């Protein structure tokens, strides 16, 4: 019996070590997860706010057909949104990128070549992809953007640190608001996902370019009036951040008195 206990103890030690490597509760600061980055303030998934505002975001454009269709719907409902654009597509379709800006939306960085960064991520590759895209954004807007979304949501500490040093805050999306519209699941699937899960401060993930016939602009024709009826406003990610910061400042002033 004692021999069995000794063997069990020997086997238990490496098992506990293995668990500690993968358990945030046991591993502590060694796990750089969402909670770590949100507390540090160097990444954003969604924004804490009491006002009924939501940020709709669109990846992978600009596209002369799909982006234009989406802009038409947004204009109808006076919805302001953020477009995470691919640098080489901005270069190819500067007039569409210009329309994004002229109609009050935000143009942000989504790399130049839509790179899915493989871990460990190269400092040089991140800097090159982001700088090339910023060069195209400056040509269209006259200034640098301040936000960046890595394709596929892939990141590590290198990407987070490099992009922040370049003045580009990595922005992902609310986990309950990934529409998967790139997979063309159906207009009802896309629209019901957003409407049923809507919360103040959400960052919703759409695409303004997909392979095949996009269903996104049709879904928006359902989403926008439905959420507008619930009292929601649609703002850019930068505006969402500013509104949240203003709320926090007001709360701090109230606590000071």
Element (H, E) at 132: helix 123-141
Per DSSP, which regions of the chain are E strands? 53-59, 82-85, 106-109, 147-148, 169-170, 203-207, 233-234
Report phi then psi at 143, rounded to 5.
-155, 165
Active-site hit among 59, 60, 63, 208: 59
Active-site hit among 37, 105, 110, 207: 207
Report phi then psi at 147, rounded to 5.
-130, 155
Token pair of 161 as six digits = 């640190």
Q: Active site includes 59?
A: yes
Task: Tell me how crowded residue 138 is: count the other CB atoms within 10 A of its CB.
Answer: 12
DSSP per residue, 61-84: ---TTHHHHHHHHHHHTT---EEE
Residues serving a catalytic function are 59, 207
């Amino acid at each position: 019996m004692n021999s069995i206990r000794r063997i069990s103890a020997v086997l238990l030690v490496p098992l506990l070590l293995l668990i500690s490597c993968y358990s945030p509760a046991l591993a502590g600061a060694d796990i750089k997860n969402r909670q770590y980055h949100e507390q540090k303030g160097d990444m954003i998934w969604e924004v804490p706010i009491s006002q009924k505002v939501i940020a709709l975001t669109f990846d992978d454009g600009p596209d002369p057909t799909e982006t234009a269709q989406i802009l038409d719907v947004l204009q109808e409902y006076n919805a302001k949104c953020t477009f995470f654009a691919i640098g080489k597509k901005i270069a190819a379709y500067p007039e569409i990128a210009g329309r994004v800006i002229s109609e009050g939306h935000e143009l942000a960085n989504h790399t130049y070549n839509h790179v899915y960064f493989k871990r460990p991520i190269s400092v040089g590759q991140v800097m090159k992809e982001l700088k090339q895209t910023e060069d195209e954004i400056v040509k269209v807007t006259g200034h640098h953007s301040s936000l960046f979304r890595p394709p596929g949501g892939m990141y590590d500490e290198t990407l987070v640190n490099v992009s922040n040093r370049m003045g580009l805050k990595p922005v992902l999306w609310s986990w309950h608001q990934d529409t998967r519209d790139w997979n063309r699941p159906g207009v009802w699937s896309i629209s019901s996902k957003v409407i049923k899960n809507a919360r103040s401060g959400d960052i919703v993930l759409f695409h303004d370019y997909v392979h095949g016939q996009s269903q996104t602009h049709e879904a928006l024709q359902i989403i926008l009036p439905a959420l507008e009826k619930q009292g929601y406003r649609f703002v850019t990610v930068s505006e969402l951040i500013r509104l949240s910061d203003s709320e926090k400042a007001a709360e701090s002033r109230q606590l000071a008195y």
